[in-house]
Homo-oligomer: A and B are copies of this chain.
């Protein structure tokens, strides 16, 4: 899709949202740190939005379907990670921007296919592309964005990045496969949850940090450090996502409560709760099986889940991974970008959506 730069907000949606959250936030000083993060990456994120694929007037259904999702914005957390990793080295340039875009496009491609697979109806607060354009178009739209991402990585010509992305894509697909095989299976273990999350979510964060560092000219040791940061950040991110499925504000997350569970996806707190309260099995089974689960059943499930302490433990798991991510980058030379990555780790834990 040829690029038609459009006016974009100077402030990435993630930061706007996080700043709203952090007024009166639990973590002292996070608001000011977010402002500094925004200040640092705002130009990169503006450049990124301006280079997002835009529609040709005669665009095909597949392109319109892909644009529908991309134009809804989203947090752009993954490309921001690429930008920050690059800023630890030589800074954000055209090549880094293309890698950052590629990471966002791969993410969007997985969302398009996921929404078909999960019969998803709402995404980013709007009807899913598959509802507007149909399942068939959304499948090919995912393929289209994947190829677009690969072309950008190819054209950036940063040594080793394309090979790494292909490996990461394979990991992501095999994790999706495992998730499908575990769908609706209430005997899913924590170990299986980790396998799924490491491939499905953390792999792309890991890749983004590594690729950004590599493009920014970091040495192999630093690239490895940032890769580990990305892996932990990804698990923290997914652990919070899992909590939001049970205790988020649908107006902020853009999706209904228990959406994952109704798609048969066992979230971390649910897996832990089922281990601790055997009686919960029947209640969860009812929610998974129901076309539209009874609100009373959902309330009962939530109360019982809360009583097992699994929501608290889910938050602890996220915190532990965010803390480990921060420790991983402790020994990097001090810089605004390093501080900003710490802020990202903290903000990931305190995000409302």
A residues neighboring B (CB under 8 Å): 60-63, 113, 116-117, 134-137, 139-140, 142-144, 146-148, 150-151, 154, 162-163, 166-167, 169-170, 173-174, 176-178, 180-181
- Given A147-B169, A170-B144, A177-B137 contact (CB < 8 Å): yes
A-B pairs with the 6 shortest C-beta distances? A62-B177, A60-B177, A117-B136, A147-B169, A144-B173, A151-B166
Whole-angstrom CA separation of A177 from B138 in the bound complex: 10
- Given A61-B181, A147-B166, A147-B169, A113-B137 contact (CB < 8 Å): no
Whole-angstrom CA separation of A180 from B62 in the bound complex: 9
Min CB distance A103 to B, Å, is 16
Min CB distance A195 to B, Å, is 11
Which of B60, B117, B166 contacts A154, CB < 8 Å? B166
Could you tell me the dominant secondary structure of chain A's interface residues? helix
27 residue pairs from A and B, CB less than 8 Å apart: A60-B177, A60-B178, A61-B180, A62-B176, A62-B177, A62-B180, A63-B174, A113-B139, A116-B135, A116-B136, A117-B136, A117-B139, A117-B140, A134-B180, A140-B176, A142-B143, A143-B169, A144-B177, A146-B146, A147-B166, A147-B169, A147-B170, A148-B170, A150-B150, A151-B167, A154-B162, A154-B166
How many monomers of this protein are in the complex?
2
A61: chain B residues within 8 A (beta carbon): 177, 180-181
- Given A62-B174, A62-B177, A113-B143 contact (CB < 8 Å): yes
Min CB distance A243 to B, Å, is 25
A134: chain B residues within 8 A (beta carbon): 180
Q: Is the CB of A173 within 8 A of B143?
A: yes
